[in-house]
Structure 1
Amino acid sequence: MTDQSLDLEISRLLNVPRARVWKAWADPAILKEWWCPRPWKTEVRAFDFYPGGAFHTFMSGPDGGESDNPGCFLDIAPQERIVFTSMLVGGWRPASPWLAFTAILTMADEGSGTRYVARVLHKDDAERQRHEELGFYDGWGACISQLEEAAQNV
């Protein structure tokens, strides 16, 4: 059983059909446009969109800040679920991330839109609290809004 107190979650109804949300997620050329809060920019360094495939983004800010985020896709159910982690890199190789988590993203039809849920699992309360203090709700929330905008334009 999972200890949900170690999770951070955002659930949002997006005003766009699920197929478009999926396309905005599954195409790295579109993903780089919404993946990090603006005015930061994303470079997609690896996007092997299958279980065990590498998922590596590098983000840079206007002030010179950087965030290097290698990871691995764990599970992909087309138009329903994407699971990735920072604890592994491509080919299931162990990683030593600066922030340890597994993200479970789900998409479901709701009315004419999509219920998008981002649930992020952490190994302990300290890591969950650190992620929250780093701006999880504001940062991931901004990215979900940008995802919705990108999906409306695909």
Structure 2
Amino acid sequence: MKSNLLMDFSVNKETSTVYVKREFNASISNVWSAWTEPEILDQWWAPAPWKSKTKKMDFKEGGKRLYAMVGPQGEEHWALADFTSITPKTNFKYLDAFCDSEGHLNVDFPRSDWDISFSEQDGATFVDIAIKHENLSDLEKIIEMGFKEGFTIAMEGLDQIFAAKK
């Protein structure tokens, strides 16, 4: 089993886009499920010690996922994903936003456009993510909030789920 899995994180300030390429020791079917099924998503989506809690999810074009990041003291930060495009086991896209527990958007925080692609190579699955922000200041705000560090920890949590299945 490969232990040095690829995690490439880069920022293009000209296009206000974050790019992440991540390798997983799992089949494309298992990785797709981990990204698209709330029961699995909630096990890894938040960076430990935080937890993810999905209130509702309808994974289809035009569907939504309303979820909270729950902190160690029980604090909740809600977010909404609006699914705009789904090509099974290949790609899905959504608009991400901070919101309240009912899904009303918090306009004080930027919205981002996620494009997530899946591919298999030599027994590993690669996930390529492009997260486009409306402008550079929105991108910088997310980076300042610790997005890179938190997302890296969450990816490691997903690695643990796959390792436990082996």
TM-score of the two chains, using structure 2 as the length reference:
0.79
Contact 1:39–1:61 (CA<8 Å) still a contact in 2?
Answer: yes
More deviation, 107-116/140-149: 140-149
Identical aligned residues as a percent: 23
Cα distance in 2 between the residues matched to 1:88 and 1:57: 10
Cα distance in 2 between the residues matched to 1:110 and 1:71: 28
Aligned-residue Cα RMSD (Å) equals 2.4
AA at the equivalent of 1:40: W
The C-alpha deviation readout for 1:84-137, integer Å capped at 9, x for no partner, is 112599xxx994443310111111012110111222110000000111111121
* Higher RCO (Cα < 8 Å, 6 or more apart): 1
Q: Specify which of 69, 76, 79 is matched with residue 86 of structure 2.
A: 76
Q: Indicate yes or no: 2:158 matched with 1:147.
A: yes
- TM-aligned CA deviation for residue 36 of structure 1: 0.4
Q: Indicate yes or no: 2:156 matched with 1:119.
A: no
- The alignment covers a number of residue pairs equal to 149
TM-score of the two chains, using structure 1 as the length reference:
0.85
CA 1:58/1:87 → structure 2, altered by over 3 Å: closer, same or farther? closer
**Which residue does 1:37 correspond to in 2?**
47
Q: Specify which of 120, 136, 146 is matched with residue 147 of structure 2.
A: 136
Cα distance in 2 between the residues matched to 1:63 and 1:136: 20
Q: Indicate yes or no: 2:46 matched with 1:48.
A: no
Gaps of 5+ in 2: 1-12
Gaps of 5+ in 1: none
Cα distance in 2 between the residues matched to 1:29 and 1:39: 18
Cα distance in 1 between the residues matched to 2:49 and 2:35: 19
Quick check: which one's helix share is greater?
1
Cα distance in 2 between the residues matched to 1:64 and 1:95: 21
Q: Specify which of 35, 46, 61 is matched with residue 25 of structure 1.
A: 35
